[in-house]
Chain A
Amino acid sequence: MKMTSILARFAGALALLTGLTACAKGPDKTPLEVELVQNLRQALQARRAARGEKPARPALTRAALDATVKGAFIEVTIEESDVFAYLSRQVSKHDDFPGTVEVWRSEDNVNLAMRDGVLVATRGMPNDLLAASALVHAGGPKGPSGNGERIYEIAALDNESYKLSLVCQVEDLGVKRIEIVELTYRTRHLRETCEGRGGQAESLAGSQERNRVVNDYWIDSRTGRIWQSRQWAGPELGYLRIRQLTSG
């Protein structure tokens, strides 16, 4: 009896406290309690907002794209969750490694970096792909070629990163016609198959298990441009489907 009355009073006090407008102004660090109340409020709002359905995938037409879009855009879909976004090209640059790095950015602040079309970094996602090597060659066609080692470095666990070393082979699956929003392209389908035994981390499962990553690229037979690809982006994101809507 005593316990329940205490609990009731406790709950009442707690409701009163969270109901209070906890707030902070000025350049000092926001106190923990204020931040907690703010987060609680945001979570409630997000929950209310999430009651609406998942945004439907817009039906793209070439006419609409031509009329409204300036610059290069890609469509990226996370295969597992079917979450998608449109990313615009921000930068195209060269560094000391072969290939051209293009950085694509979504409106909600997610970046993907691709070296000659091969995904080498994600930014703004949980457990980002911090860096990766790519089997691309200076002056050659876009996309991967040949055989060799690829290293994926992934943010993980306690503010650390883990490096995965995989041995990759690229095979040519021949000519494929693909269609992207009413335009058809004649492409070569390249498949990069990478295998390795786990990572250095005990928590990267399967230091004993064999792991396999398979990336697909569809590369324009004439221009060497990558029109679409399906690439692995780390343990958190899994596979991404990427296709180029406009080339800018």
Chain B
Amino acid sequence: MGLSVTTTRQYRARAVLTGLAMTAGLLQAAPVLAQSKPFAGQSNASAEEAPRYKRLPAPSLNFYGTSGLIDMPSAEMQPDGQWSTSFSWFAGQSRYNLTFQATPWLSASFRYNGIRDLSGTAFSTYYDRGFDVRARLWREGHWRPAVTIGLQDFAGTGVYASEYIVATKSFDTPALGSGRSPGRLKVTAGLGWGRLGTYGALGSLAGNRTGFTPGGTGGSLSTESWFRGDVAPFGGIEWEINDRWGLKAEYSSDAYLAESRDSGIFERRSPLNFGLEYQWTPGTRIGAYYLYGSELGITAQIQLNPKHPRVPMQVPALAPVLPRNQWATESAHWGQDWAQSSASKRQVRDLVAEALKSDGLTLEAITLSGTEVELRYRNNRYRSETLAAGRAARLIANVLPPSVETFRLVPVRRGIGLSTTVLRRSDLEALEFVPDAPDALAAVSTVTNAAPLAADAILSEELYPAFSTSVSPYSSQGYFDPDQPFRLDLGVDFAASYTPAPGWRIAGAIRQRLWGNIANGRASNSVLPHVRTDQAEYAQHGTTLNNLYVSRHWQPGRNTYARVTAGLLESMYGGISGEMLWKPAASPLALGVEGNYVRQRAFDQRFGFRDYQTFTGHASAYLELGKGYVAQVDAGRYLAGDYGATFSIDRTFKNGWSVGGFFTRTNVSAADFGEGSFDKGFRFRIPLDWMLGKPSRNSFGLTIRPTQRDGGQRVAVPGRLYGSVRAAHRLSLTEQRARFWE
């Protein structure tokens, strides 16, 4: 039996040995001999002339963090997907801006700003949050300028509320000096309403609008005042002298009434602003300015683009697939007798487990017949499920007995099989180095639903039962408290989990805070049950039991996935939670229901509870819209007992980046909800592998709400189904087919 389980391992061992022997030999080699110059007569073609990747040039940003001049916007759009963070400061006014270029023609911004000594407010520094959205009506042509329409601060309390329509045309300018790159001159002109219509107004086209009044609830769309009231022209020029330096001059239509006239923060002497900017690295730019005839200002910007990783991903190459006819040369090697013996099958399982482990994958279970294998594996290393499947397939192709021809690859997460990729071993052998290899393999493989674990599957010996522990630093944040805009707790997290059988999990985490100031936060003033606003109360205790629960994940049917979780689900709630998801492997649509009966945990976060208990649950629909956009609607009952629906849209990149926004409307009135009127926010995720250039499944994620209130809140349950299921389904797998052979 031993002989019939033929493998290529001896072959590999020999190759590695000769490699080592060679290196040793080379190091003792004799002194240099005079050599004729190698590669004499090679062509003088350089890599510069060959095709190469270049980042698209990013237009510079204005003080509001959108493409523009100094304080005025321009019509330019950033490259698709661009993620810009910027800071600007002048005359005691600071603005922190985040802008995401959601599509080539649409961008959205979030801004947090502070104005010192603004009159009419109770604070020494008045902090505010706002959102902008900009849409390009048409792009620049040979004669025609680009035209963009924008809404600034359209949903906050409106300190910067304004609307504009703006046109920009750019021209090439000759290089200054030899060896310098040519420059570019951009001319911008536009019309502004609201704040951008306060200086040099031409009059009003339609209606009136009221100015900014500090202290309002804000948050709702002020559609009735858009493009109303006075309208004023603005404009300017930007000259990018070369790829480093830029000069800007503009005529501003913002009179700074609230800051200059009403509060005397600075004296606005002139509508003209001037600036000098320097592109430090491809992603960072700094600028200095002279504004409104009296003030100096600065900006700093950092721009990232998800399509351009900081370090390109590098994955160690696997040994190539060795065609079976080269190592299984006798007909006896091709027999299927081994599949009759359970001892031989276990031997094969151990070989497969060892091969997978060498690449950071874990065997969950294997089902073997003479000609077919179903491999269930866990992938904790690679974000791309296609990459993991491609590597698993090639690893097992070099160790399985030659008679096995059909591979069924099933990635497993929390005990559930997510999908099945079916391919033939002969295709792996034949297509690895053909032209068009990624498409060629995608054409001969299929993705279907995963079947539940087969009765004759041989489980991994190492996984069940399994015990995992970790000790790690943690941080939690609190945002936008008017007294202290950013609060932080830091500490150590001790986590442990026990997995007795596939799908079962008992897990818990204890946290010890080492330093923090969230505990000094504001007390809640909410008139709703305090389902989320008692954050400061929950931060009073240094040692807490963050969670402790038992969960089970399983597949009730071919297209359905289920979860039940009970225990202390998160720092504020404990109870029982159940979820069911319907998602065929080939369908862009998924439907789910979730129900939770939860009770609020005591502030000390040990085993005690408070009096508040409630039922919260939702029906959800998820739709992959193509090009990475995923839309989601959840309708149901929220933690404070309010009924309503949450709408969200995320743009997910194939490398794991995602940026999205959401809002929730419930039957809680704007007055009862408090500041912000309704729950809304945005979220983003930056993968660790994108930053490091090596495989990882971890990422930095953040959900930011301009205001954290009690309406429209949900319980946070670990192990929700949709995300991991989607990543292993057909659309996601085929989109990433280029990574199969990596």
Interface residue ranges, A against B (CB under 8 Å): 6, 9-10, 12-14, 16-18, 20-37, 39, 58-61, 63-65, 67-71, 73, 79-80, 86, 88, 90-91, 93, 95-97, 101, 103, 105, 107-111, 113, 115, 120-121, 123-128, 130-134, 151, 153, 155-161, 164, 173, 176, 178-182, 189, 191, 193, 196, 198-199, 202-206, 211-214, 216, 228, 230, 232, 235-236, 238-239, 241, 243
Could you tell me the distance between the alpha carbons of A70 and B462 in the complex, rounded to whole angstroms? Answer: 39
List CB contacts (< 8 Å) of B298-328 with chain A. Answer: 306-308, 311-320, 322-323, 326
The minimal Cβ–Cβ distance linking B502 to chain A, given in whole angstroms, is 12
The minimal Cβ–Cβ distance linking A153 to chain B, given in whole angstroms, is 7
Q: Across the interface, do B19 and A88 meet the contact criterion of CB distance under 8 Å?
A: yes
List CB contacts (< 8 Å) of B268-317 with chain A. Answer: 306-308, 311-317
Q: Report which of A26, A33, A111, A202 forms a contact with B472, defined as CB distance below 8 A.
A: A33
Q: Across the interface, do A69 and B22 meet the contact criterion of CB distance under 8 Å?
A: yes
Could you tell me the distance between the alpha carbons of A29 and B700 in the complex, rounded to whole angstroms? Answer: 15
The minimal Cβ–Cβ distance linking B602 to chain A, given in whole angstroms, is 26
Q: Across the interface, do A180 and B698 meet the contact criterion of CB distance under 8 Å?
A: no
Closest to B737 in A: A161
Stretch at the interface among B92-100, B431-439, B446-454: B431-439
Q: Across the interface, do B471 and A20 meet the contact criterion of CB distance under 8 Å?
A: yes
Q: Across the interface, do B698 and A31 meet the contact criterion of CB distance under 8 Å?
A: yes
Interface residue ranges, B against A (CB under 8 Å): 15-16, 18-33, 35-36, 38-43, 45-47, 49-56, 306-308, 311-320, 322-323, 326, 362, 378, 380, 384, 429-438, 462-463, 466-474, 488, 490, 492-493, 495, 497, 499, 514-515, 517, 653-655, 688, 692-693, 696-700, 735-736, 738-739, 741-742
Q: Report which of A16, A30, A103 forms a contact with B698, defined as CB distance below 8 A.
A: A30
19 pairs, CB–CB < 8 Å, chain A vs chain B: A17-B473, A24-B468, A29-B380, A37-B472, A63-B30, A68-B26, A95-B431, A130-B437, A158-B653, A178-B36, A182-B33, A189-B41, A204-B52, A206-B51, A214-B45, A228-B38, A228-B39, A232-B50, A235-B51
Residues of A within 8 A of B380 (CB): 27-30
8 new A-B contacts, CB < 8 A, other than A153-B435, A205-B51, A235-B51, are A31-B470, A39-B692, A59-B33, A107-B23, A151-B435, A182-B33, A203-B307, A212-B45
Q: Across the interface, do A17 and B492 meet the contact criterion of CB distance under 8 Å?
A: yes
Closest to B628 in A: A158
Q: Across the interface, do B468 and A60 meet the contact criterion of CB distance under 8 Å?
A: no
Residues of B within 8 A of A91 (CB): 320, 322-323, 326
Residues of B within 8 A of A204 (CB): 51-54
What are the nearest 3 A-B pairs in CB distance? A68-B25, A26-B468, A124-B317
Residues of A within 8 A of B311 (CB): 126
Could you tell me the distance between the alpha carbons of A36 and B49 in the complex, rounded to whole angstroms? Answer: 39
Could you tell me the distance between the alpha carbons of A205 and B50 in the complex, rounded to whole angstroms? Answer: 10
Q: Across the interface, do A115 and B32 meet the contact criterion of CB distance under 8 Å?
A: no
Q: Report which of B27, B697, B742 forms a contact with A58, defined as CB distance below 8 A.
A: B27
Q: Report which of B306, B473, B515, B742 forms a contact with A22, defined as CB distance below 8 A.
A: B473
Could you tell me the distance between the alpha carbons of A104 and B487 in the complex, rounded to whole angstroms? Answer: 54
The minimal Cβ–Cβ distance linking B101 to chain A, given in whole angstroms, is 14
Could you tell me the distance between the alpha carbons of A45 and B386 in the complex, rounded to whole angstroms? Answer: 32
Is chain B's binding surface mostly helix, strand, loop or mixed? loop
Q: Across the interface, do A235 and B53 meet the contact criterion of CB distance under 8 Å?
A: yes
Q: Across the interface, do A211 and B50 meet the contact criterion of CB distance under 8 Å?
A: yes
Residues of A within 8 A of B15 (CB): 71, 88, 90, 105
Residues of B within 8 A of A80 (CB): 47
Residues of B within 8 A of A151 (CB): 435-436
The minimal Cβ–Cβ distance linking B472 to chain A, given in whole angstroms, is 4
Q: Across the interface, do B25 and A67 meet the contact criterion of CB distance under 8 Å?
A: yes
Residues of A within 8 A of B33 (CB): 59, 61, 182
Closest to B35 in A: A179
Closest to B22 in A: A69
Could you tell me the distance between the alpha carbons of A14 and B474 in the complex, rounded to whole angstroms? Answer: 10
Q: Across the interface, do B18 and A131 meet the contact criterion of CB distance under 8 Å?
A: no
Closest to A236 in B: B312
Q: Across the interface, do A34 and B434 meet the contact criterion of CB distance under 8 Å?
A: no
Residues of B within 8 A of A73 (CB): 22
Q: Report which of A12, A124, A131, A205 forms a contact with B434, defined as CB distance below 8 A.
A: A131
The minimal Cβ–Cβ distance linking B439 to chain A, given in whole angstroms, is 8
Closest to A35 in B: B698
Residues of B within 8 A of A12 (CB): 515
Q: Across the interface, do A159 and B435 meet the contact criterion of CB distance under 8 Å?
A: no
Could you tell me the distance between the alpha carbons of A126 and B313 in the complex, rounded to whole angstroms? Answer: 6
The minimal Cβ–Cβ distance linking B511 to chain A, given in whole angstroms, is 12
Could you tell me the distance between the alpha carbons of A202 and B630 in the complex, rounded to whole angstroms? Answer: 24
Q: Across the interface, do B320 and A60 meet the contact criterion of CB distance under 8 Å?
A: no
Q: Across the interface, do A25 and B469 meet the contact criterion of CB distance under 8 Å?
A: yes
Q: Across the interface, do B490 and A13 meet the contact criterion of CB distance under 8 Å?
A: yes
Q: Across the interface, do B470 and A235 meet the contact criterion of CB distance under 8 Å?
A: no
Q: Across the interface, do A158 and B322 meet the contact criterion of CB distance under 8 Å?
A: no
**Are A203 and B54 also in contact (CB < 8 A) when A32-B700, A97-B435 are?**
yes
Could you tell me the distance between the alpha carbons of A239 and B326 in the complex, rounded to whole angstroms? Answer: 32
Q: Across the interface, do B19 and A113 meet the contact criterion of CB distance under 8 Å?
A: no
**Are A111 and B320 also in contact (CB < 8 A) when A17-B473, A28-B497, A64-B29 are?**
yes
**Are A235 and B50 also in contact (CB < 8 A) when A13-B490, A68-B24, A70-B21 are?**
yes
Residues of B within 8 A of A121 (CB): 433, 437, 741
The minimal Cβ–Cβ distance linking B576 to chain A, given in whole angstroms, is 23
The minimal Cβ–Cβ distance linking B468 to chain A, given in whole angstroms, is 3
Residues of B within 8 A of A13 (CB): 490, 514-515
**Are A86 and B438 also in contact (CB < 8 A) when A205-B54, A230-B42 are?**
no
Q: Across the interface, do A31 and B495 meet the contact criterion of CB distance under 8 Å?
A: yes
Could you tell me the distance between the alpha carbons of A128 and B493 in the complex, rounded to whole angstroms? Answer: 39
Q: Across the interface, do B655 and A158 meet the contact criterion of CB distance under 8 Å?
A: yes
Q: Report which of B18, B312, B492 forms a contact with A71, defined as CB distance below 8 A.
A: B18
Could you tell me the distance between the alpha carbons of A125 and B47 in the complex, rounded to whole angstroms? Answer: 17
The minimal Cβ–Cβ distance linking B321 to chain A, given in whole angstroms, is 8
The minimal Cβ–Cβ distance linking B469 to chain A, given in whole angstroms, is 5
The minimal Cβ–Cβ distance linking A149 to chain B, given in whole angstroms, is 10
Residues of A within 8 A of B24 (CB): 68
Could you tell me the distance between the alpha carbons of A26 and B463 in the complex, rounded to whole angstroms? Answer: 9
**Are A17 and B514 also in contact (CB < 8 A) when A29-B697, A71-B15 are?**
yes
Q: Across the interface, do A37 and B473 meet the contact criterion of CB distance under 8 Å?
A: yes
Could you tell me the distance between the alpha carbons of A166 and B574 in the complex, rounded to whole angstroms? Answer: 62
Q: Across the interface, do B53 and A161 meet the contact criterion of CB distance under 8 Å?
A: no
Q: Across the interface, do A179 and B466 meet the contact criterion of CB distance under 8 Å?
A: no
Closest to B28 in A: A64
Count chain A CB atoms within 10 A of each CB in B24, B52, B312 and give the residue with the most: B52
Closest to B435 in A: A133
**Are A26 and B654 also in contact (CB < 8 A) when A36-B688, A228-B39, A232-B47 are?**
no
Count chain B CB atoms within 10 A of each CB in A27, A95, A126 and give the residue with the most: A27
Could you tell me the distance between the alpha carbons of A196 and B50 in the complex, rounded to whole angstroms? Answer: 9
Residues of B within 8 A of A157 (CB): 53, 307-308
Q: Across the interface, do B29 and A159 meet the contact criterion of CB distance under 8 Å?
A: no
Q: Across the interface, do A61 and B30 meet the contact criterion of CB distance under 8 Å?
A: yes
Q: Across the interface, do A30 and B317 meet the contact criterion of CB distance under 8 Å?
A: no
Residues of B within 8 A of A16 (CB): 514
Closest to A184 in B: B36
Q: Report which of A24, A124, A130, A230 forms a contact with B738, defined as CB distance below 8 A.
A: A130
Q: Across the interface, do B433 and A120 meet the contact criterion of CB distance under 8 Å?
A: yes
Could you tell me the distance between the alpha carbons of A61 and B41 in the complex, rounded to whole angstroms? Answer: 23
Count chain B CB atoms within 10 A of each CB in A131, A164, A211 and give the residue with the most: A131
Residues of B within 8 A of A39 (CB): 692
Residues of B within 8 A of A111 (CB): 317, 320
Residues of A within 8 A of B655 (CB): 158-159
Q: Across the interface, do B26 and A25 meet the contact criterion of CB distance under 8 Å?
A: no
Could you tell me the distance between the alpha carbons of A103 and B319 in the complex, rounded to whole angstroms? Answer: 9
Q: Across the interface, do A31 and B51 meet the contact criterion of CB distance under 8 Å?
A: no
Residues of B within 8 A of A126 (CB): 311-314, 693
Q: Across the interface, do B53 and A205 meet the contact criterion of CB distance under 8 Å?
A: yes
Residues of A within 8 A of B319 (CB): 90, 105
Count chain A CB atoms within 10 A of each CB in B384, B431, B432, B474 and give the residue with the most: B432
Residues of A within 8 A of B738 (CB): 130, 153, 155, 159-161
